[in-house]
Amino acid sequence: MASLKKLNDALSKLEEWLLLCGLGAMFIVLLVQVISRYLFNYSLIWSEVFARYMYLWIVFLGISFGVRNKKHIRVSILYDHYPRSFQKFMYIFLDLAALVFFTIQIPVGIRFCQGYFAVPAAGLPISMGFVYLALPIGYTTVSLRLIAEIITTLLEKGPNGPIKEEC
């Protein structure tokens, strides 16, 4: 359990750092774009493309962040009116269903991005394969996070775990 917690904490720190850097880079590039366009009448050709690709990375890494903070979409009406033991069962079942989906998507994402390594990105000197690498990396991080969540929920003492999500 201690090694799972260490892995979970390390993944959390890496995730937060990458999301913060990605958001910061996107903000700075778009701010420079707006300033250069309106003050100097000069537009950076690559800024909008960079922001679009950075947004893709932020979304796919953010899925795992949402799972960790229990902020992903759930239909909570199903288990709000049932006993805690049933809530725990439903929570594990929904996490398992999501885990199956994201685990299936990992090889699909790998095959998808492999097909784009020969394609250059428009406006940036990188391959589109690196842009689409966000898919398998995002699917892998969310799968690891779901495994940790399932194990944590299973190891909780009794049926009264912290199942209810706060808004």
Range 69-74 average pLDDT: 73
Q: How far apart are CA 167 and CA 165, in angstroms?
A: 7
The pTM of the full predicted model, rounded to 2 decimals, is: 0.81
pLDDT tens by residue, 108-132: 999 999 989 989 988 888 999 999 9
> Is the confidence at residue 64, as pLDDT, over 50?
yes
> Is the confidence at residue 79, as pLDDT, over 70?
no
